[in-house]
Structure formats: C-alpha cells, structure tokens
Amino acid sequence: MNKNDLDFLYKQNLEESIIQHLAQIKSIELRQAMDIYYKSELARLIETGKYGIENLDYKYLTEDLIENEPQLFKKAEL
C-alpha cells in the first residue's frame, strides 16, 4: 500500500465514524446522517485535506458540523 491508499482509507474511516456518531447523537437514521454529512462543508474540507482537518478527532468534527452548519439540520427536520 502506498501513502495515497492509506490516506484514502483513513479519510473513508473518518467519514464513517462521523456519520455514525452524528446519527447517534442526533437520534437520526444513518441514511439521514449520511445525507447531512455529504452536503456539508466539512465533507468538502476533509475530501480536499484543507487545513489538515482530517487529522482531528471524529467526535470533535461531528460537534463542529452540528454547531457550524445548523442549516443542514433544519432541512432534515422537515
């Protein structure tokens, strides 16, 4: 495995952890949590590796998503 493969797997695992944690703390279905996550700015930052954000803890990133992108949750409540 090369570095790019490892980076891809790490980001994939991070995204899975964020989605699972989001579903758990917001008491929503995984599908809904996935939809929220992939529409978020956080997902774009992790994908591009901007600011090294992908190196932060998934619990912190989930809380950050909830706090800084509340508009995503208002759409989910409809």
More confident residue, 77 or 73: 73
Alpha carbons 37 and 25: distance in angstroms, whole number: 14
In tens, the pLDDT along 28-47 reads 999 999 999 999 999 999 99
Residue 77 has pLDDT above 70, yes or no: no
What integer pLDDT is reported at residue 39 of this predicted model?
Answer: 96
Mean pLDDT score of the chain: 92
| pLDDT classification of 74: cutoffs 50, 70, 90 | confident
Return the axis-axis angle of helices 3-26 and 58-68, rounded to nearest 10°: 60
